Amino acid sequence: MAPAGRVGHHRHVPPDAPVLPAAALVAHLRPRKGPRSLVDTLGRRVTYLRLSVTDRCNDRCTYCMPPEGVPLDPARTILRFEEIEVVVRAFVEAGVRVVRVTGGEPLVRKGIVDLLARLGRIETPSGDRLRLALSTNGERLAPLADAVVRAGVRRINVSVDSLDPARFRTITRRGSLDRVRAGLRAVCGRPGVTVKTNTVAIAGFNDDELARIARWAWSLGAVPRFIELMPMASGRLFVPGRLMDAATIRARLAAELEARLEPVPGPEGAGPARYERVVDRATGRTMGIVGIISPMTENFCAGCNRVRLDSRGRLHGCLGADDTVDLRAALAAGGPAGVRAAIDRALARKPAGHRFARDGTGGPRKSMISIGG
Ligand code: SAM
Ligand code: SF4
């Protein structure tokens, strides 16, 4: 077995050990019939798949990966596009309606636009288009924006933790705020495309910027979202004092925007984010909507509607747990029917919830970069 690479060695050579020959995979792309819902043992219906297409990233966010990087999977172990398509089709036939492509950084995967276009053509059993979403750091978004939208992506989340270029550089270790701003400008305002910004709220780092980030996102036509810091990677990158909890995020936004926050329903299939209308206290005018993702202090696991597939084809029932089921092996052994059976096995083991604790314990061994959020 080839040794795993290190971060910085971005090689996307075609895998040299295909699990199934391409012709066999193509035969599996035809629609087939089967039970059309995925319900776990707690009655939670899974309709949303987060699909990591690479473990590589062009940034090095301090809360996401250690300074020395993480071991990279050899390219031949990463799912090929044909395999991804067969697996995604199996999920869609079983009831998944939204696929969010993530990474690492998905836009560094060679041929990503072709993959998005393949996924964008998938139809649900009732003939609707699969809803295709993308989470990106935005660094490569500007030049790819037209192609990404043409491929069928209709929801785009872009991570922006600071509007101060020096701070942005500090948190991403190498990112360019100008490039990310250009990426956002390139996708905002397009008809039918929803854009959100994702900001990890970090006490003592960007807690004085949340209101500014919200106003800026609204000015672009995007929905700002603020995320509580999570203790992934066994808590190695987590500093308890840096956690800004949802109540503090709301209070800070309300004070600095001179507004009151009123809960509103999220968009359909919104998942974990709680949305709030921000209403100007003086005029009663709605300034905009914000989303808050608060796994640490307002547990939402009882309503979890998602599973996650990593770039090697391992299905994770929970962001906060290391248990996986190998769909690549299931595909090789049993084709789409084997994949479906493996998905059912994973659902039967989907944990009731994560065990993240505010002191940084309870997290999984896996890092965020390896699963994509
Ligand atoms: N590279 C893309 C990006 O940055 O959006 C997609 C992958 S990234 C892992 C997905 C999201 O996870 C980002 O919004 C990022 O800020 C967030 N994230 C990473 N590590 C986190 C942590 N420890 N706690 C909370 N959110 C985290
Ligand atoms: Fe890369 Fe996204 Fe992790 Fe930052 S948060 S290191 S951009 S994967």
Which residue, judged by its Cα, is nearest atom 25 of ligand 1? 229
User: What's the gap in Å between 33 CA and the centre of ligand 2?
Assistant: 38
Q: Counting atoms of ligand 1 from 1, which one is nearest the CA of 232? A: 23
Check residue 287 and report its DSSP letter. E
User: What's the gap in Å between 82 CA and the centre of ligand 2?
Assistant: 26
| Integer Cα distance of 272 and 52 in angstroms | 18
Domain range 36-370, its CATH number among 1.20.1260.10, 3.20.20.70, 3.10.20.30, 3.90.1150.10: 3.20.20.70
User: What's the gap in Å between 368 CA and the centre of ligand 1?
Assistant: 6
Query: Where in the chain are the domains?
Result: 36-370
| Integer Cα distance of 139 and 179 in angstroms | 5
* pLDDT per residue as tens digits for the range 246-287: 999 999 999 999 999 999 998 665 678 999 999 999 999 999
Q: What pLDDT is recorded for position 28?
A: 52
* pLDDT per residue as tens digits for the range 276-335: 999 999 999 999 999 999 999 999 999 999 999 999 999 999 999 999 999 999 999 999
Q: Check if 64 has its Cβ closer than 6 Å to any atom of ligand 2.
A: yes
**Omega within 30 of 0 (cis) for the link into 317:** no
Which residue, judged by its Cα, is nearest atom 8 of ligand 2? 104
Q: What pLDDT is recorded for position 24?
A: 57
Report residues whose beta carbon is within 6 angstroms of any ligand 1 atom: 57, 63-64, 102-103, 105, 135-137, 159, 198, 200, 227, 229-230, 232, 368-369, 372-373
User: What's the gap in Å between 372 CA and the centre of ligand 1?
Assistant: 6
Q: Check if 115 has its Cβ closer than 6 Å to any atom of ligand 2.
A: no
For 349, counting Cβ atoms within 10 Å of its Cβ (0-12 exposed, 13-18 middle, 19+ buried), the class is middle
For 130, counting Cβ atoms within 10 Å of its Cβ (0-12 exposed, 13-18 middle, 19+ buried), the class is buried
Q: Check if 369 has its Cβ closer than 6 Å to any atom of ligand 2.
A: yes
* pLDDT per residue as tens digits for the range 191-226: 999 999 999 999 999 999 999 999 999 999 999 999
For 8, counting Cβ atoms within 10 Å of its Cβ (0-12 exposed, 13-18 middle, 19+ buried), the class is exposed
How far is residue 339 CA from its own chain's centroid? 22
Helix (H, G, I), strand (E, B) or coil at 314: strand
* pLDDT per residue as tens digits for the range 154-188: 999 999 999 999 999 999 999 999 999 999 999 99
- One-letter identity of residue 220: L
User: What's the gap in Å between 280 CA and the centre of ligand 2?
Assistant: 34
For helices 177-187 and 165-172, angle between their N-to-C axes, nearest 10 degrees: 100
Q: Is the CB of residue 292 less than 8 Å from the CB of residue 273? A: yes
Average pLDDT taken over every residue of the chain: 91
Q: Check if 59 has its Cβ closer than 6 Å to any atom of ligand 2.
A: yes
Q: Give the number of other CB atoms < 10 A from CB of residue 36.
A: 12
